[in-house]
Chains A and B, each alone.
Chain A
């Protein structure tokens, strides 16, 4: 197979910034502090299985919440008139123009013990709530930050569904509910799957949100990896190993997701035409 000349810069880029780092991660994973081959890192990482589990659960809950909130939103946006669609999509995008860090800080000031929400509660004569530094706060932060990544791919698929197909289903006797369950939902599966991927992957691996809204009391994989590189117990070998395990877990999850997507390949073929 011939490689096109225009591909060369990308290939070089991928080589330097993707392939080589991955090889380095793999190399470090199986190396100990004395630079000799060892499997100690894997055993060491195994001790953190609680953290892995917690990260995956928090990531999964955030992803499911994003889907539950995002699908109806995407569906409603795809139903309104085209000019309003563009407007609503823009509203969705505007928060993404400000820094991710700033937005998370904003949530801190809202959720704090002396934050805005609690001040409002006190003003109304209600007891204060303990919101910050809880798993709930982390999930809230994730859902807030990653929701657009769920809505956009689903919306993109929904607007591409041919109106005639929906009419054909109505014509054959399907009411609104049946049209949705038998036609719209199955046809939007590819969007759901890319949405889930786009939300689940960053949710599992992020550390900023858990640090800021979890107050460091709830350790997730992202924090754990960061600690190996920037903390007192500097150990890039263990850090690499944990990263590698995380990558493998995510790859397995995506493989499972894609295997659920057997039918929706048809739609992709269609929309490409």
Chain B
């Protein structure tokens, strides 16, 4: 069992009477790749700034290897940050940018030179050593920012949406590069992102946040397959979230029908949220299906078609490789292992329907 390197305990932050973080508890283990995932304004960057030491929480404690570090200023913490817009020093060249931390520590020049060269090799930029940082492309600047942070031998590397400004292709490359740096160095990584795909593909542990609280902590598989509430289900990939009633163990009712499922342990005849992933639904003829509805839109997505189906006013999303036409009536077949049951949450019935209403809700959330 790996030991804890960073622990946040009952963290509370508010700003102008607006609560940014509420009762946040988080335990990060040594060598772990943790991702804080959530929409903008969910408090993930604030959490990162608390770990870095740029922000003091109103309440709660921060521990580094079981030592309380609330009052340790940023420049004395053994963590380093990679900023969203790189924040390279514009008056220094590549070499001096990477050497900055070591110069502060007054390391001998020979050691600095060896380390800078070694780290620039790791990020494949050794031939740029004398360049002016302003002449580099976004991806190169990002790699210099990574090199600059790594040169300080941090115990924890904090990454604040580091790939946000890069285009898709470069993003993918940098994702695997970061992942391999993590494996090579064994440093604990804490990544902040709003990109669920990035979170799922890179992390050991994903922390899903919304409105200043942690919604779920778990491995990428757990988060995807066993979302705790409607928010997580909706934010991580596409989900149909339907209100249902748990009749008995392994038995749930929704859309006026009874389905067998794999979940148990819920109170009998209690209201629950039912999650069904769009790719788990099988399209059949209306007669064969458990439920049926009319196709309102078909969008070609490359690997599959994304179909929206109106089932008695509730809009379902289905991903299928089969060709379908708008206004056709089709049946939906749902197998027990496609059904995931969740306890109701404040998000119940607010999220999950693919009608105009949920789009409005989505847009409203992303405005803030």
Contact = CB atoms under 8 A, between A and B. Distances in A.
The answer to whether A binds B is: yes
Interface of A: 162, 164-165, 167-175, 178, 182-183, 186-187, 263-264, 266-267, 269-270
B155 interface: no
Contacts of B257: none
Nearest to B78: A173
Contacts of B134: 266, 269-270
A171 B80 contact: yes
A175 B75 contact: yes
7 contacts: A167-B74, A168-B148, A172-B100, A172-B101, A172-B104, A269-B134, A270-B134
B89 A167 contact: no
B87 A168 contact: yes
Given A266-B134, A269-B134, A172 B148 contact: yes
Nearest to A270: B90
Given A164-B83, A168-B83, A173 B89 contact: no
Contacts of B104: 172-174, 178, 182
Nearest first, the 6 closest Cβ-Cβ pairs linking A and B are: A164-B87, A172-B101, A168-B87, A170-B74, A173-B104, A266-B90
A167 B81 contact: yes
A264 B75 contact: no
A175 B76 CA distance: 8
Contacts of B22: none
B120 interface: no
Contacts of B101: 172-173
B152 interface: yes
B161 to A, nearest CB: 12
A167 B145 CA distance: 13
Chain B, interface size category, equals 20 to 34
A186 B91 contact: yes
B119 to A, nearest CB: 13
B114 to A, nearest CB: 18
A96 to B, nearest CB: 32
A169 B132 CA distance: 18
Contacts of B148: 168, 172
B54 interface: yes
A171 B52 contact: yes
A169 B104 CA distance: 10
A187 B74 CA distance: 21
B52 A169 contact: no
A168, A170, A266 interface centre (most CB from chain B within 10 Å): A168
B312 interface: no
A15 B101 CA distance: 53
Contacts of B103: 182
B242 to A, nearest CB: 44
B85 interface: yes
Nearest to A273: B134
A269 B136 CA distance: 13
B105 interface: yes
A101 B53 CA distance: 52
Contact of A169 (B73, B100, B105, B149): B100
Interface string B68-99: 00000111100111011101111100000000
A165 B87 contact: yes
Given A186-B91, A187-B90, A167 B54 contact: yes
A167 B152 contact: no
A173 B75 contact: yes
Contacts of B105: 173
A38 B103 CA distance: 60
A268 B74 CA distance: 28
A265 B91 CA distance: 8
A142 B87 CA distance: 39
Contacts of B88: 165, 168
A164, A172, A173 interface centre (most CB from chain B within 10 Å): A172
Contact of A267 (B75, B87, B91, B100): B91
Given A165-B88, A174-B75, A178-B104, 14 more contacts: A164-B85, A164-B87, A167-B87, A170-B73, A170-B75, A171-B81, A172-B149, A172-B152, A173-B75, A173-B76, A186-B91, A187-B90, A187-B91, A266-B90
Nearest to A168: B87
A237 B53 CA distance: 68
